[in-house]
């Protein structure tokens, strides 16, 4: 079946199987910045933005995104570079595997709530797991990206 949608502000048409998840469709079409982590919707590594909201691409049927907008880190280069800068300065990018999903999540948070409290930040990113860090450096980097959130 054919699915037409916007991917990083460009119209695309993918040929997909009815039960195919978006993660597999994107990777099959050479968009490898979207990573495979757990395949059980628990780690956040496969996060993409669906109409500017973070979603897990490993549990979203590609057929359901007809006419919608999908954004990956490839479509937000300037913002992602800024986020990466803060992660680097805070030492929050140990292996980097979780960074793309987390970056998209905090970008969405900034759009939705530009001045979140510490608790709101923690709640928003709870679905993004990092296997290397204790989260403190990431939290500091997120706060700096958000402009010194309270």
- Token pair in block for residue 143: 């706060």
What pLDDT does 39 receive?
Answer: 79
Q: Which residue has the higher pLDDT, 110 or 135?
A: 110
SS3 assignment, position 142: helix
Structural tokens at position 140: 């500091």
CATH, domain 76-145, list 3.20.20.140, 1.10.150.120, 1.10.240.10, 3.40.190.10: 1.10.150.120
**Mean pLDDT across 22-27:** 98
- pLDDT by residue (tens digit) across 80-132? 999 999 999 998 877 777 788 999 999 999 999 999 999 999 999 988 877 77
CA 45 to chain centre: 7
Q: Which pLDDT does position 150 carry in this prediction?
A: 47
Q: How much is the pLDDT for 148?
A: 65
- Give domain 2-74's CATH superfamily: Beta-grasp domain (3.10.20.30)
pLDDT at 38: 85
**Mean pLDDT across the chain, nearest whole number?**
91
Q: What residues contact 134, with CB distance under 8 A and at least 6 apart?
A: none
Residue with more model confidence, 98 or 31: 31
CA neighbor of 71 nearest in space, from 15, 12, 114: 12
Residues 6+ apart with CB under 8 A from 60: 21, 22, 23, 50
Domain ranges of the chain: 2-74, 76-145
Length, in residues, of the chain: 150
Check residue 94 and give its pLDDT.
75
Span of 34-38, 39-43, 61-65, 87-91 with lowest mean pLDDT: 39-43
């Amino acid at each position: 079946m054919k699915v037409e949608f916007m991917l990083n502000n460009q119209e695309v048409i993918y040929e997909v199987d009815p039960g195919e998840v978006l993660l597999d469709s994107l990777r099959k079409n050479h968009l490898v910045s979207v990573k495979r982590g757990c395949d059980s919707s628990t780690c956040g590594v496969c996060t993409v933005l669906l109409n500017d909201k973070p979603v897990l691409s490993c549990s979203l049927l590609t057929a359901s995104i007809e006419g919608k907008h999908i954004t990956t880190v490839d479509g937000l280069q300037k913002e992602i570079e800024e986020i990466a800068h803060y992660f680097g300065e805070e030492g929050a990018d140990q292996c980097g595997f979780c960074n793309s999903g987390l970056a998209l999540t905090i970008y969405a948070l900034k759009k939705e709530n530009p001045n979140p409290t510490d608790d709101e930040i923690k709640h928003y990113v709870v679905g993004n797991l990092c296997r290397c860090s204790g989260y403190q450096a990431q939290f500091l980097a997120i706060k700096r990206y958000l402009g010194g959130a309270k």
